[in-house]
Amino acid sequence: MSEGSDAPRRGWSSKRRETVYRELRDVLNSQQSVMDDIDDKALRTVRITALLLGVVVPAAGLAAVTFQPLLAAVGVLALVLSAIVGVLTYGESDLVVGPSGAYAVSLATGDDADWELDFLVELASWTESNAADIADNGRLLFYTQALFVVGIVALTASVAFYPVVTYFGA
């Protein structure tokens, strides 16, 4: 079989379709990895936030530190929101990973002459739909991390506020 021919190869009616299938399958697999990475980052941020809220903030309350109330409230609120959005990010992950059982059976038992094209169209629609889901979850991850940074900065500022004011004699 010469390279570039349209002759059947490994079950596909043409090399072109086989190549498209392989490319789309690779995209689907990569999308799963990307989404796993987003979920992992979101959950790591949630864990650190929970640690900060559950341990560091109460401990800081026992120490001889005076928080600037408004900044402290903003900081705690931002951290709580970060944790909530982080959990939502994980919960929103709903990528298509392959054919459903019903569709696989319908493909295997159907009498559609051009089932390959049908399958490729479905595969392409899954990758397009997944891409939109990943964009949405990427946005949620950004909000999770941005709120986390705002929370940390606000809490730090709330601790530093009175010493700084005293130092500069305002």
Site residues (vs another protein, CB under 8 A)? 32, 35, 39, 88, 90-103, 106, 110, 112, 117-118, 121-122, 124-126, 128-129, 132-133, 136, 140
Q: Which is nearer to another protein, 57 or 129 (CB)?
A: 129
Q: Which is nearer to another protein, 72 or 95 (CB)?
A: 95
Shortest Cβ 7–another protein spacing (Å): 22
Shortest Cβ 6–another protein spacing (Å): 17
Q: Which is nearer to another protein, 25 or 55 (CB)?
A: 25
Helix (H, G, I), strand (E, B) or coil at 9: strand
Cβ of 1: how many Cβ atoms within 10 Å?
Answer: 8
8 Å CB contact between 79 and 145:
no
Give me the count of residues in the chain.
170
Cβ of 127: how many Cβ atoms within 10 Å?
Answer: 18
Q: Which is nearer to another protein, 4 or 101 (CB)?
A: 101
Shortest Cβ 53–another protein spacing (Å): 21
Shortest Cβ 91–another protein spacing (Å): 3
Tokens 């569709």 found at: 103
Phi, psi of 169 (to 5 degrees): 65, 30
8 Å CB contact between 28 and 97:
yes
Q: Which is nearer to another protein, 52 or 83 (CB)?
A: 83
8 Å CB contact between 42 and 140:
yes
Shortest Cβ 167–another protein spacing (Å): 44
